Structure 1
């Protein structure tokens, strides 16, 4: 990792108001649930802004109930020449592919070089299954449930960065954002049972500090769905055990409510795509 070139931190984030959000496509949320989701989203936005990250907005679209999760189908970064790149996701679920189309339009207008998986048959959940190593030009990519391992070759090419692959094996943690959160260049929060032995060994080899989440809390409160901004972790208020672990290694803690979004299997990081 020390030999990997440095990577700048994001300057802002892209969020999408939950105007059409529904935790499940099979059920229309009540007015109270809609209002609660909007209040929680406002709280997440305020947390980013209070930490100096400006928030840019993507318009919500009818018929796309999960579009508020802007990071799911976009992986952003810069090349060694500081060219801004967005690699779009390609979901196995046809109902979510419209999200990538709207993200593509936004990122092109914002001056990003937009890339897509070359093979339309490959599944790639972008920011849900891939994460930058903090401060380094190094990607971590998960496969096993929602992303095909072959999808990481174009990711490595797009960002001109190596990708370390992690195999997910636990159906309670089906994408990387639920079981792996890099916190600092040296520390990571993980759910150990989510990974096969080879992947777990790789994590332990690369990170000097590996924090293990409580499995019940990890599944219910998604502490690995936290976002870290300049030494402060923004995470779900119910993840009290994880908050204690993060505080113990020197991170400041900003607790927010994301209960409505947890019903859809996502939390803070999924709501905010990084911008450079």
Structure 2
């Protein structure tokens, strides 16, 4: 995670960013600390990536890379405003001693990649349509040695996979069907018949931009209907408030880069 000490909405590169809406940086830091403390309380170790001046979106740490079994597929951001973030993440993984692949293709890390370790022996779900090029999916497959299933996003409000779909445990997911093409919806129905289906309201509240450890599901406080569905499915919803960071187009998952050693 990377604290939002320099967070601001200085440009608009997704439908949620409004440069005329003021950002309370102090409140953003307080809410981020609440998320970090929640994850720590649930038993998780949080590594902190130092934020850098001039990179206001660095708080969305999920976008900087994607890792599986200590192997890292780096990010190559679509927009120039965020490109320098990739180098900061690369240095972080170098300190861990993990194998790092520098990408040729445009991709935005865990924004558009996620991993299900127990599904079909370990499979990557990958989004494309707005930020990540579909060619990056095959590049990631070569780098990580894991099969990649391509999922096409069609609604610009859900510009990354991680605002439209999330793993709940090692083999099941939750998602909002309307974010995907009809053919992708058919694929998801076939692959995940027991998925928890979110409605548009909860998707627009960034409810799917969540982090789950297989039992506890940390998600935005506004996604109340999704929280109820998750509880009924046997998970424990853990709501957190991230109103300031939503102004940049992200919530819980955007703030968390999951490390898979």
Q: Scaled by the length of structure 2, what TM-score is found?
A: 0.92
- What 5-or-longer segments of structure 1 have no aligned partner? 1-14, 79-83
Greater shift after overlay, 261-270 or 131-140?
Answer: 131-140
- CA 1:23–1:241 in structure 2 vs 1: closer, same or farther (change >3 Å)? farther
- Find the partner of 1:203 among 188, 213, 220: 188
Would the aligned equivalents of 1:71 and 1:126 in 2 still touch at CA under 8 Å?
A: yes
Alignment length (residue pairs): 252
2:175 matched to which residue of 1? 190
Distance in 2 between residues matched to 1:124 and 1:163, nearest whole Å? 14
Q: Deviations over 1:130-186 (max 9, x none)?
A: 110253421000111111111111211111100000011112211101111121245
Equivalent residue in structure 2 for 1:71, among 62, 79, 90: 62
Distance 1:203 1:73 in 2: 26
Corresponding residue of 1:123 = 106
Counterparts of 2:118 and 2:58, CA distance in 1: 28
Give the one of 205, 208, 212 matched to 1:228.
Answer: 212
Larger strand fraction of residues: 1
Matches of 1:265 and 1:93, distance apart in 2: 15
Match of 1:112 among 98, 104, 125: 98
Residue 56 in structure 1 maps to residue 47 in structure 2: yes
Deviation at 1:38, TM superposition (A): 0.7
Structure 2: unaligned runs, 5 residues or longer: 13-18
Moved more, 17-26 or 143-152: 17-26
Question: Aligned equivalents of 2:170 and 2:5: distance in 1?
Answer: 36
Give the superposed CA RMSD. 1.7
C-alpha distance in structure 2 between counterparts of 1:134 and 1:250, whole Å = 20
1:8-50 CA distance string (max 9 Å, x none): xxxxxxx1111101134374986x7111101110111011101
